[in-house]
Structure 1
Amino acid sequence: MKRLRLALRLTRINVILLKHGLDELILALPFFRPLRFLVIFMPWRWVPRALPARGVRIRRSLEELGPIYVKFGQILSTRRDLLPPDLIDELAKLQDRVPPFPGDQARRIVERSLGESVTELFAKFDETPMASASIAQVHAARLRDGREVVVKVVRPGIKRRIQRDMELLYFFAELIHRYVPEARRLRPLEVVAEFDKNLDDELDLMREAANASQLRRNFTGSELLYIPEVEWPLTRREVMVMERIYGVPVSDTEHLTALGTDMQKLAERGVEIFFTQVFRDSFFHADMHPGNIFVNAEHPEEPRYIAVDFGIVGSLNPSDHRYLAENFLAFFRRDYRRVAELHVESGWVPADTRIEEFEAAMRTVCEPIFERPLKDISFGALLLRLFQTGRRFNMEVQPQLVLLQKTLLNIEGLGRQLYPELDLWRTAKPYMERWMREQVGPRAFLRKLREQAPTWSERLPDLPERLIRALDDVSEMRAALSRQSEELEGLRQEQARTGARLLAAGAGSGLLGGGVLVLALQPGAWFSLAGVPVLGWASVVIGAGLLLSGRWR
């Protein structure tokens, strides 16, 4: 049954691609190349169809295929270095202009989730959506107290569609893992599972609201980033209400430039926000495509970012966090040997990897990109060469870092749009060095003292009693050890006495038996004195004495 569902889904995907005139993409796949001759039998080969531009066709295909494919298109839309402009311009529409579902459906979902009618909940609710994305759409509203808010509503039936496509992704990942041994280091099943978890999190707006609250706390009072406030009483799993923000979309560079925005500072602040979220907080916005980022340009010389859509966030465990920070810093310092050592220490490459070879490979790949602005760097070529290097050294993909890599690509894409002259390395290096000093220097020591002070002050009154109890425990342990030592000494002495008895008994038995045997068989064979066999009788007497001695012992 499962294979039948997968076959039907694959058939539908191909039908959608054919419907939008993308049959050349299907026939370009290695699996279908032997069937390219079938193109001559397709009607539109002889009767041309009136088709829109290729970018429009690809965008519409992704929209019809479903949310997973829309997410893929959103990622591609930030990579102007990888795709031609016509495709990028169309894919950018996937960020917030996916075809909406009817507004009356959104109203019914809000009423069902919150248990009251929209007219009772809001002074105003606009059924025409402000923006529509792959997972949810947003409606403008006004609370009873006059505050302007936005209402985010999950698309009806979206969970079932995602599960259907995830089933197909798991199938492909399993095939790759089973039949492509060289691709196992990419850990396709783990990567798909991580993607599945992130999508499931994105469907729960309560989780998104919690993410937004955490990010807002992390940047309270910051001049770099503003996070809107969540209205918790009006938030449920399928509905979230939060403060409405006003800003210029970060992708509208013409408008930002016309306002006199300092584009260099804006790009540099974007880099600082990324590194602050990852390394200071270990909690970062992992869906930073242009549709989710706005700019407050009221003070164009000091532009401030505004973020929305917090369904996908990432975090790092302490070990990955530390290793990643040290990797970045070593990378910025061009200390490729340290990069190689960290990869081995963290287990990202096998323990038997030769450090010198890995160091040379990393230097060859990375050295050409330093001290160059973004516009002069081909990150597509860089990623390809890093992939080839990783394959050579059996480097495994780390599923927990996939979100971070995706976010870094988004940040790089934004920086390329805002200020192509941005030197990413020179911008990030001072921040990383400052962060490392705060982690391992005297300031870090004092900070940890401050953090531990409340705990210590709470436990300090109990310290004398704990100390006395510990000393009593030590005394009891010493007494017990002393008793055990005495018992062990007694056992040792007993073993020594037993060994002596056994030795005496063995020697006595041998001498007694030998003497008796000789006296019985050849009494004259031994030395005799006045006709008496002295040595034979001596052997008997000494043997008997040793036997008696062993018994008495």
Structure 2
Amino acid sequence: MDRVPPHLLAQRICALALAGLVEVTVTLPALLAVRLLHDRQATHHYLYRRLTHRIQSLGPTFIKFAQIAGARRDMLPAALCDELSRLHDSVRPLPRPAAARALRAAYGRAVPPFLARLDPEPVAGGSIACVYRGVLPDGQVVALKLKRPGIDKTMQADLALIRALTRRAERLPMLRGMPMADLVGYVSQAILGQLDFRQEAANIVTLRANLADVPAVEVPRLRPEWSRPTCLVFDYIPGLDTRTPTTLPDPVRARLASAVLAAAHKMMFVDGFVHCDPHPGNVYLLPEGRAAVILDAGYSVHLPDRVRELIAGFFAGLATGDGRRCGEIMLASMANADADGRTENAEPFVADIAELVERCAGPGRAFDMASFGNGVFETQSAHRLYAASDFAFPIMALMILESTVRGLWPGADFTRVGVATAS
């Protein structure tokens, strides 16, 4: 990461301190009132809602960090993760003057020279970029993913502050043994990767090539001749709408959900190149039911061979109901166990995971990844064991994907992700 200028760090510290002061002034009296009138659970829910609201006002770094960190239900309270998940839809669009400045910086003019027309309002927006619809002189439509101007230095400053706070927080008794530095380092790397549009361009080319032979799955084509370091240009795919699944016949929905699982299987177990952000805003069904579309490869990771083998063994254990094997694999992935997975809590942890698998997975059982995953996180927390991020985040991606796939087709059998083939 580039060195952050001291004056920018100072500005961010002042801005964050002011935001914190305002939040304490507003929230503390209300929190005391909620505590007096309601129970502890209601107090926590109110606190988590206020925290999520404040994160929205702190800017894109904290929104993105919270989106990714909120997947770690083994380290954060489930109710807080539920609130943080709302941040995927919370980002304001880029104002028109700012978009025009960003386009002039990339192309020398507010409407790129290869376009006949550019729609001024974005068709989609996120914490790092907004997407605009453009029309070529021949009538072909393209999508421009435009980075928010000035975002790099601000996000780098924020990440530097988060890392500094983490180093101090790790000294607190309640956080000892929790791999906070591992979590923050992994999330920081993911965020910086999403800032690097050159890397995202390489990711989308890799993902498109890897999934080219998966039937009924499409990844939009990058147009490198028109792309720039702050603006990526893709073929435009019309009709992307999260409500589309409800308009399609059940057999079509089932077939396309199976195709998405086949794509996940190839990413996770064949190629080892995983799209780690498969929320409903990145996975769509086309209106005519021809295919599923996967967007936005900014947050993608190459799985180390050992991690891929562990995840494959874990899913094989789920499919056969071999709970002890699942527990042993999870133990080997723990950040706070030794190199051989040894810890004083080893046998009780493995026994508890085996019992959980017996209840939730195996032949003839209806498997629910979210419920099972929450049980795993509760078990890890009870034994004060925490998975290394390079194992945990692909598993988190699968949990997000399960929720997305069940939105496409509620009857999808998610255990097929371990052996999936599109039908």
Regarding TM over 0.5, the answer is yes
Give the match for residue 510 of structure 1: none
* Secondary structure of 2:171's aligned partner: helix
Q: Which has the higher relative contact order, 1 or 2, with Cα contacts under 8 A spaced 6 or more apart?
A: 2
CA distance in 1, matches of 2:142, 2:106: 17
Q: How far does residue 288 in structure 1 lie from its aligned partner after superposition?
A: 1.4
Task: Report matched runs for 1:113-512 at 5 Å.
Answer: 113-115=106-108, 118=111, 120-180=113-173, 183-249=175-241, 251-252=242-243, 255-261=244-250, 262-299=252-289, 304-342=291-329, 349-350=337-338, 351=340, 352-353=342-343, 357-370=348-361, 371-374=365-368, 378-379=371-372, 381-388=374-381, 390-391=383-384, 395-425=385-415, 427-431=416-420
The aligned amino acid for 1:152 is K
- Number of the residue aligned with 1:14: 20
Letter in 2 for 1:256: P
If you compute each CA radius of gyration, which structure gives the higher value, 1 or 2? Answer: 1
- Alignment partners' CA distance in 2, 1:28 and 1:336: 46
Aligned match for 1:70, one of 63, 67, 76? 63
Q: Deviations over 1:24-69 (max 9, x none)?
A: 687699xxx9xx9xxxxxxxxxxxxxxxx99997765433221233
The answer to whether the 8 Å contact 1:205/1:235 transfers is no
**Aligned partners of 1:230 and 1:243 also within 8 Å:** yes
Quick one: distance in 2 between partners of 1:173 and 1:306? 37
Determine if contact 1:104/1:127 at 8 Å carries over to the other structure: no
- Whether the 8 Å contact between 2:119 and 2:133 is mirrored in structure 1 is yes
1:241 Cα deviation after fit: 0.9
Deviations 1:264-320 (A, max 9, x none): 344343333222211111111112121122211413xxx521122221101111122
Give the SS at the match of 1:153: strand
* Aligned-pair CA distance for 1:324: 2.2
Matched residues in 2 for 1:61 and 1:125: separation? 34
> Residue 203 and residue 27 in structure 1: after superposition, are their counterparts in 2 closer, same or farther (change >3 A)?
farther
Q: Mark the CA change 1:59 to 1:321 in structure 2 (over 3 Å): closer, same or farther.
A: closer
Query: 1: distance between equivalents of 2:404 and 2:104?
Result: 38
How many Å apart are 1:7 and its aligned residue?
A: 6.1
> Is the CA contact 1:202–1:312 (under 8 Å) kept in the aligned structure 2?
yes
Residues 100/140 of structure 1: CA separation in 2 closer, same or farther (3 Å cut) = same
| In 2, Cα distance between equivalents of 1:24 and 1:403 | 37
* 1:415–1:17 CA distance, 2 compared to 1 (3 A): farther
CA distance in 2, matches of 1:341, 1:256: 39
Tell me the SS of whatever aligns to 2:281. helix
Aligned to 1:339, what secondary structure does the other structure show? helix
Separation in 2 of the partners of 1:275 and 1:417?
18
User: What TM-score do you get using the length of structure 2 for normalisation?
Assistant: 0.78
1:109 aligns with 2:102: yes
Shift of 1:198: 1.2
Contact in 2 for aligned 1:327/1:342 (Cα 8 Å)? yes
The residue type equivalent to 2:300 in the other structure is: V
Change (3 A) 1:374 1:327: closer
Task: Tell me by how many angstroms 1:22 deviates.
Answer: 4.5
Once residues 13 and 59 of structure 1 are traced to their aligned partners in structure 2, the CA distance between those partners, rounded to angstroms, is 13
Report the secondary structure of 1:372's partner residue: coil
The 8 Å contact of residues 95 and 290 in structure 1, kept in 2 or not, is answered as no
Residue identity over aligned pairs, in percent, reads 25
Task: State whether residues 191 and 399 of structure 1, in contact with CA within 8 Å, keep that contact through their aligned partners in structure 2.
Answer: yes
Q: Structure 1's 17 and 229: CA in aligned 2 closer, same or farther, altered over 3 A?
A: same
8 A Cα contact 2:147 2:231, kept in partner: yes
Kindly provide the amino acid, as one letter, of the partner of residue 283 in structure 1. Answer: F
Sort the Cα spacing of 1:340 and 1:290 in 2 relative to 1 into closer, same or farther, 3 A.
Answer: closer
In structure 2, give the amino acid aligned to 1:269. Answer: A
Residue 233 of structure 2 aligns to a residue in which SS?
strand
Bigger CA drift: 68-77 or 118-127? 68-77
* Cα pair 1:247 1:296 within 8 Å, conserved: yes
Once the two structures are TM-superposed, the CA of residue 423 in structure 1 deviates from its matched residue by: 3.8
Alignment correspondent of 1:525: none
Give the letter aligned to residue 245 of structure 2: L
**Do the aligned partners of residues 109 and 381 (structure 1) sit closer, same or farther apart at CA in structure 2, a change above 3 Å counting?**
closer
Q: CA deviation at 1:240?
A: 0.9
Give ranges in structure 2 of 5+ residues lacking alignment: 1-5, 37-45
* Alpha-carbon distance between aligned partners in 2 of 1:385 and 1:147, rounded to the nearest angstrom: 51
TM-score normalized with structure 1 length: 0.61
User: Could you tell me how far 1:337 is from its partner in structure 2?
Assistant: 3.3
- Assess if the C-alpha contact under 8 Å between 1:101 and 1:155 holds in 2: yes
String of CA shifts for 1:494-537, please: whole Å, max 9, x gaps.
Answer: xxxxxxxxxxxxxxxxxxxxxxxxxxxxxxxxxxxxxxxxxxxx
- Give the Cα–Cα distance (whole angstroms) in 1 for the partners of residues 11 and 221 of structure 2: 43
Deviations 1:57-103 (A, max 9, x none): 776543322123323665669x9xx669xx87x965x5356212222
Question: Over aligned residues, Cα RMSD in angstroms?
Answer: 3.8
SS at the partner of 1:242?
A: strand
Tell me which protein shows more helix as a share of its residues.
Answer: 1
